[in-house]
Amino acid sequence: MYYNMTYFFILGNNPTLSIAEILNRLNLKKEDVNYVSPQVMVIDFKADIDAKRVQEILGGTIKIGKIIKRVKLDQTELLINEISQLIFSQLRKIYFGFSFYNLTNDDLVAQYKSKYSKLQKEVALEIKNKLKKEGKSSRWVSSGDNLTLSSVIVEQNKLLDNGVEAVFLVTSENDALMGQTITCQDFKQYSWFDFGRPDRIIEKGMLPPKIAKIMINLATSAGLNKKSALLDPFCGAGTILSQAFLMGFRNIIGSDKNKGAVNGSKNNLKWLAEKINNNLKRIIVFSTDVRDLAKKIQQESIDAIITEPYLGPLNFKNNESEKMIKELSQLYLSAFRNFKKILKNNGCVVIVFPIFFTFSGKTKNTLHFLPILEELKKNWAVEEFFPAGRIDKNPIAKVTERGSIIYSREDQRVWREIFIFKKK
So what's the pLDDT on residue 357? 82
Q: How far is residue 200's CA from residue 206's CA, in Å, rounded to a whole number? A: 8
Residue 210 CB partners (closer than 8 Å, separation 6+): 12, 59, 60, 190
Of the candidates 197, 327, 367, 339, the one whose C-alpha atom is nearest the C-alpha of residue 268 is 197
What structural domains does the chain harbor? 6-185 (3.30.2130), 203-423 (3.40.50.150)
Residue 28: what are its φ and ψ, rounded to 5°?
-90, 155
Contact 73, 109 (CB under 8 A): no
Q: What pLDDT score was predicted for residue 133?
A: 87
For residues 137 and 131, the answer to whether their CB atoms sit within 8 Å is: yes
Q: Please name every residue paired with 8 in a beta bridge, in sequence order, or none if there are none.
A: 42, 65
Tell me the pLDDT of the chain (424 aa) as tens digits: 556 799 999 999 999 999 999 999 999 998 999 999 999 999 999 999 999 999 999 999 999 999 999 999 999 999 999 888 888 765 566 889 999 999 998 999 999 999 999 999 999 999 999 888 888 888 999 998 899 999 999 999 989 888 899 999 999 999 999 999 999 998 888 777 777 787 776 555 578 899 999 999 999 876 788 889 999 999 999 999 999 999 999 899 999 999 999 999 999 999 888 888 788 888 999 999 999 999 999 999 999 999 999 998 877 777 778 889 999 999 999 999 999 999 999 899 999 999 988 776 655 578 899 999 999 999 999 999 988 777 776 667 789 999 999 998 777 788 999 999 999 8
CB 58 within 8 A of CB 68: no
Query: Residue 212's closest CA among 272, 170, 144?
Result: 272
E-strand spans in 129-162?
A: 139-141
pTM (predicted TM-score): 0.93
Rounded CA-CA distance 408/23 in Å is 22
Residues 6+ apart with CB under 8 A from 94: 87, 131, 136, 137, 138, 139, 162, 163
> Residue 50: how many CB atoms within 10 A of its CB?
11
H or E element that contains 159: helix 159-162
| Residue 350, helix vs strand vs coil | strand
Q: pLDDT at position 61, please?
A: 97
**Do residues 79 and 69 lie in contact, with contact meaning Cβ atoms separated by under 8 Å?**
no
Return the sign of the alpha-carbon dihedral for residues 358, 364, 365, 368: positive
Closest CA to 176 of 393, 8, 396: 8
Diameter of the chain measured on Cα atoms: 75
> Rounded to whole angstroms, how far apart are CA atoms 264 and 231?
17
Measured N-to-C along each axis, helices 259-275 and 239-246 cross at an angle, to the nearest 10 degrees, of 20
Among residues 409, 27, 46, 407, which one has the least CA distance to residue 217?
27
Predicted confidence at residue 73, as pLDDT, reads 95
* CA-to-CA dists, residue 28 to 21, 73, 114, 350, 387, angstroms: 10, 31, 37, 20, 11
What CA–CA distance (Å, rounded) separates 145 from 165?
17
Q: Quickly list DSSP for 235-302.
A: -TTTHHHHHHHHTT---EEEEES-HHHHHHHHHHHHHHHHHTT---TTEEEEE--GGGHHHHS-TT-E
CA-closest candidate to residue 155, choices 87, 243, 55? 55
| Phi/psi of residue 296, nearest 5 degrees | -100, -25
**Percent of residues in the chain assigned helix, strand, coil, to nearest 5:** 35, 30, 35
Give the separation between CA 6 and CA 19, rounded to whole angstroms: 16
Amino acid code (one letter) for 7: Y
185, 160 in Cβ contact below 8 A?
no
- Cβ(397)–Cβ(20) below 8 Å: yes
